[in-house]
Amino acid sequence: MFDRGWADAYERAGGSYYPKLQASVPFTPAAGPRLLVRNDVDQEEIRGALAGGLVGLCQATEASSVHVTFAREAEWKFLAARGFLQRTDQQFHWRNQGYRSFDDFLATLNSRHRKAIKRERRDALAHGITIHALNGAGITEEAWDAFFAFYMETGSRKWGRPYLTRAFFSLVGETMANDVLLVMARRNNRWIAGAINFIGSETLFGRNWGAVEHHPFLHFEVCYYQAIDFAIARGLKTVEAGAQGEHKIARGYLPQTTYSAHFIADPSLRHAIKEYLKRERAYVADIGRELTEAGPFRKVDDAAADD
């Protein structure tokens, strides 16, 4: 919802920001191709036609704008050359450096962060909590019932409202259970928290989390550390743990730039947003460098101190 400020400003000036058009397939904050073209055709020509089609549709429907979010960098540049404004943001991703175990990963961290993660994982399992990584046929309707309750509980505490139905999760279980990792926490013979992840060819995509009991560090264990364990076991290259969250840095998830392109129909609004985005891109680049430098991984001086 990064463009709420744009909408508010435009409407205060007498414009109507909605309806807007959004290229959002898949409907999730995961980067990937957005201009889908077969390999056996002229890529440049067809992509140009798609970009022109987006602008034409915007004009034909009298929408204020069209937004292509979580595109790949090459598409971002391609659309910019055709009149789209460029925006950057960041997520936090974990990268698998060929680790054989979680301990291998821990060995790459400085002493302070390594000890903190060990303590968090231990304390997350206090009070008789057990963690269960469910996949495939191991995901039961009982587990989906519990997870849906977690999902609704989280949605009730945040801006907006939950939009996925209980039937959605059963459908996921019926059609793609082998591509789902459902990490669930249990205490006193009932499910108390969980996180859903989708398994790609090289990436584990962490999505929704929720809980009906809140315990120290349980969120980190269920959402971040269990995802790392699974990625190492499966040989996956990356864990994408969703949007936001600088607290992920201390857990080994580093900044990754994301790209979006925006066609704004009104010239005055377009000019104002263009100037804003120029400053924002510089800020995102600077903060990304600073956060990466402040990451938990060992540096030369740390290694010498540990030795």
Q: State the SS3 of the chain.
A: CCCHHHHHHHHHCCCCCCCCEEECCCCCCCCCCCCCCCCCCCHHHHHHHHHHHHHHHHHHCCCCEEEEEEECHHHHHHHHCCCCEEEEEEEEEEECCCCCCHHHHHCCECHHHHHHHHHHHHHHCCCCCEEEEEEHHHCCHHHHHHHHHHHHHHHHHCCCCCCCCHHHHHHHHHHHHHHEEEEEEEECCEEEEEEEEEECCCEEEEEEEEECCCCCCHHHHHHHHHHHHHHHHHCCCEEEEEECCHHHHHHCCEEEEEEEEEEECCHHHHHHHHHHHHHHHHHHHHHHHHHHHCCCECCHHHHHHHC
Burial of residue 178 (number of CB atoms within 10 Å: 0-12, 13-18, 19+):
exposed
pLDDT averaged over every residue in the chain: 93
pLDDT of residue 96: 98
Confidence of residue 154 (pLDDT cuts 50, 70, 90): confident
Report residue 23: phi and psi, to 5°.
Answer: -85, 100
Question: Which of 16-25, 42-51, 65-74, 151-160 bottoms out in mean pLDDT, i.e. has the lowest?
Answer: 151-160
pTM of structure: 0.90
Give residues with Cβ within 8 angstroms of 245, minimum separation 6: 92, 253
Question: How far is 119 from 248, CA to CA, in rounded Å?
Answer: 16
pLDDT of residue 306: 57
The two three-digit tokens of residue 80, written as one number: 């910019």
Using the predicted structure, report yes or no on whether residue 6 has a pLDDT greater than 80: yes
**pLDDT digit string (tens) for 77-99?**
999 999 999 999 999 999 999 99
Structural domains of the chain sorted by starting position, each given as residue range(s) with its CATH number in brackets: 4-92+255-293 (3.40.630), 97-236 (3.40.630.30)
pLDDT of residue 307: 47
Using the predicted structure, report yes or no on whether residue 176 has a pLDDT greater than 70: yes
pLDDT of residue 217: 97
Q: Report, as an integer, the average pLDDT of 104-111.
A: 98
pLDDT of residue 160: 61
Report strand pairing: 190-199 vs 85-95. Answer: unpaired
**pLDDT digit string (tens) for 180-213?**
999 999 999 999 999 999 999 999 999 999 999 9
**pLDDT digit string (tens) for 244-281?**
778 899 999 999 999 999 999 999 999 999 999 999 99
Question: How far is 23 from 79, CA to CA, in rounded Å?
Answer: 13
Using the predicted structure, report yes or no on whether residue 159 has a pLDDT greater than 90: no
pLDDT of residue 24: 81
Using the predicted structure, report yes or no on whether residue 241 has a pLDDT greater than 90: no
pLDDT of residue 170: 97
